[in-house]
Amino acid sequence: MITKRIALALAAAALLLPALAQAQQKIVFATNWKAQASHGGFYQALADGTYKKYGLDVEIMQGGPQVNPRPLMLVGKVDMMIPLGMISMMEANKSKLPTILVGAFMQKDPTSLMAHAGQYKTFQDLTKAKTIYIAKGSQFSFWKWMTASRGFSDDQFKPYNYSSAPFLADKASVQQAYVTAEPIYLAMDGVKTDVFMLADQGWEAYANMIEVRRDLVEKNPAMIQKFIDASAIGWYQYLYGGDRKAAYALMKKDNPEMTDEKLDAEFHKLQEMGMVDAGDARAKGIGAMSMDRIKRFNAEMVKAGVFGAGDIDINGLATDRFVNKGVGLDLRAKLAK
């Protein structure tokens, strides 16, 4: 009888194996740029099996200057994505696209202005620069905010085409940059720069936000929660676990331009500047997002003329139902020891 019961149990277990395999939910997750240390926590969760432990089969689709995953998300080819920035998401909301923010994995936007070392002492001094290279897509977002409220002029604007050659040729010029990218790469080539983060000047935008279709929130909130929680764990492991080799390997596979040296330098800048585990994330967990802060940012953009009053539906722009739960705080405490 016992032998028969064991045989039946084994047979039942064998039948369950295909079901368990199918239980891994497939997610296509598109990032906002080519693989880099700023995406490290997501790659960490993939590399160390955290997503798999949460029942997720995650495919990371890297972005780039010519990549726009939102149309793919709208037709169901991409499940989640990192928008190019807060303004990009607000434009989608203004256009009544059916997407929504569900988390923010950077408490500070790394967008900055970069100048040759010693040319300008303060952020305000940059208003005296003759030429500032700004990406065309940013002309009507943070640049408009800067001209409306920070003393800059459209006369200074020159289009930035993702090449630093014009900036290098003109020592008095200024260029848009990510604090975690361009200044680091130039320093490796012996070019010293001074970097001025917009986040230090009142720009309250989040970065590394997670955008999903609203129907996914309604139909499969459990999958979103698993992704947010697993990503938070991945970020804690990445920031404090000490072993980033597997994550680095995946990032270098996606983006062969990356090296361990570049990734290390970017990683340490993330830590130095408090980009991820800072602000509300310290008490509420990585991925934290404040609806009050989003409302403030919207009000600032209306004041600057980036959007009109009533253009943005705040409740449709973002939801904090999946974050601020303290997921991973115990892991951070353990790793910190």
Say what the pLDDT of residue 17 is: 44
Q: How confident is the model at residue 3 (pLDDT cuts 50, 70, 90)?
A: low
193's tokens: 């720069």
What integer best gives the mean pLDDT of the chain?
Answer: 93
99 or 13, which is more confident: 99
- Residue 15: pLDDT above 90? no
Cα–Cα distance, 172 to 128 (Å, whole number): 10
1 or 143, which is more confident: 143
Give the contacts of 74 (CB within 8 A, at least 6 positions apart). 97, 98, 99, 213
Cα–Cα distance, 80 to 58 (Å, whole number): 10
Cα–Cα distance, 287 to 68 (Å, whole number): 23
- Residue 12: pLDDT above 80? no
Cα–Cα distance, 37 to 112 (Å, whole number): 17
78's tokens: 């991409």
First to last CA, the chain: 52
Which 8-state DSSP code applies to residue 287?
B
Say what the pLDDT of residue 4 is: 52
Domains of the chain as residue ranges with CATH: 23-108+208-336 (3.40.190.10), 111-201 (3.40.190.10)
Say what the pLDDT of residue 209 is: 98
Helix axes 245-254, 260-273, angle to 10 degrees: 110
